[in-house]
Amino acid sequence: MGFKTGIIGLPNVGKSTLFNALTKTSSAQTANFPFCTIDPNTGEVAVPDPKLEKLAKIASSKIIVPTKMKFVDIAGLVKGASKGEGLGNKFLANIRECDAIIHLLRCFDDDNISHVSGKIDPLNDAEVIETELLLSDIHNVEKKILSIQKKANSGDISSKKDLKILENLLISLNNEKPARALDLDQDDLIIIKPLQLLTLKPILYVCNVEENSASEGNKYSIKVKELAEAKNAKCLIISAVIEEEISKLDNSEEALMFLNDLGLDEPGLNKIIKVGYRMLNLITFYTVGPKEAHAWTITKDSCAPQAAGKIHSDFEKGFIRAEIISYDDYINFGGEIASKDAGKMRIEGKTYILNDSDIINILFNV
């Protein structure tokens, strides 16, 4: 499992250009007019993982299987999207299916590329999109409240509790406070998560700047960074044009030289993945052997049986125990057998909580 990230924003901010660059495809249509993308484009990319390559080299693995990240290029939202403007309902539904949101904001001047509002103002653009997400969530919460109100009024204890949670949520949304900014406990989330609220999803503001501002940013990205800090959100600076150029290069060495000449040390894809893992509270664990070195993604604080289930559902059902070697020990001692001989392989049970980069071998019986 990787994670599914939707790229959203107003029309003509560079979403499709960034999508094509990140996924190294040309599947998303790009044009200088609104709604050139209608149906969402989806692409998977392998998560860059130097650790996996080192593990595979030590184990002489024949096959290397990285974990994957899925990008979804969602058509441009406009003011009124929550009421169906610009095919808004369709586009908002596409966002609901994503784990996280990249909110791409235009932070460059170019008279040859039109802007839907006629001026470059990323803060206003961000407000337009956030308002539409809030309005959509308000509508969904109001519908849910109506559906359980009668039962709650009849004295049903469970419905009364749910109604209170939803009413408090509605007050916050009406006060322009997104669900992700609320202090929600486990009981709240049990009631709220099925609603697939758009403002509950983690958000990453990405400033699409011109090539010369890719390393330091510009006057527009400074404002977006301040906005992100005020909202306790993440912010990155990326040039979609640069990412597009990198995607056309034949190898990673050429790409690195190109980036270094521009004062950059890594592609935008790497930055997005690193921030995405932190936003979604994800870690990576590995299974390694001569046949295959495989990276797997799981939520932080998951236990060994859950990790086993990522590999195969039967492994979780029949879980007995797990053999664990830390990544550092595997590298330092040169593999599984040497690590075991040095006493670095641990036998762990069902309550073991995985650490990032653990190498795991599952023992099971079904």
Q: What is the pLDDT of residues 104-121, one digit of tens each?
A: 999 999 888 777 777 899
pLDDT at 228 over 60: yes
Residues 6 or more apart in contact with residue 310 via CB below 8 angstroms: 1, 296, 297, 298
First vs last Cα of the chain: how many Å apart?
23
Q: Report whether pLDDT(84) > 60.
A: no
Task: Indicate whether 194 and 206 sit together in one domain.
Answer: no
Q: Are residues 144 and 182 in the same domain?
A: yes
Do 38 and 145 sit in the same domain of this protein? no
Looking at the structure, do residues 271 and 346 belong to the same domain, yes or no? no
- Domain stop point among 198, 217, 239: 198
pTM assigned to the model: 0.84
Q: Decide if pLDDT at 39 tops 60.
A: no
Q: Is 33 domain-assigned?
A: yes
Taking residues 250-276, what's their average pLDDT? Answer: 88
pLDDT computed for residue 86 by the predictor = 44
The predicted structure's pLDDT at residue 14: 86
Closest to 337 in 3D by CA, of 282, 286, 290: 290
CA-CA distance, 233 to 180, in Å (whole number)? 10
**Do 175 and 212 have their domain in common?**
no
Residue 289's pLDDT is 96
Is residue 164 over pLDDT 50?
yes
Task: Give the H or E element holding residue 360.
Answer: strand 359-364
pLDDT value at position 28? 41
**Residue-number span of the structural domain to which 271 is assigned:** 3-46+68-120+200-279
From 53-67, 213-227, 255-269, the region with the lowest mean pLDDT: 255-269
Exposure of 159 in the CB half-sphere (CA atoms within 13 A): 13
Q: 270 and 237 in one domain?
A: yes
For residues 222-240, give the mean pLDDT: 93
- Do the beta carbons of residue 200 and residue 179 sit within 8 Å? yes
Tokens read off for 85:
């403007």
pLDDT single digits (tens) 278-336: 888 999 999 999 999 999 999 999 999 999 999 999 999 999 999 999 999 999 999 99
Helix (H) or strand (E) holding 146: helix 122-153
Total count of domains within the chain: 3
Mean of pLDDT values over 65-82: 75
C-alpha span between 249 and 256 (Å, rounded):
10
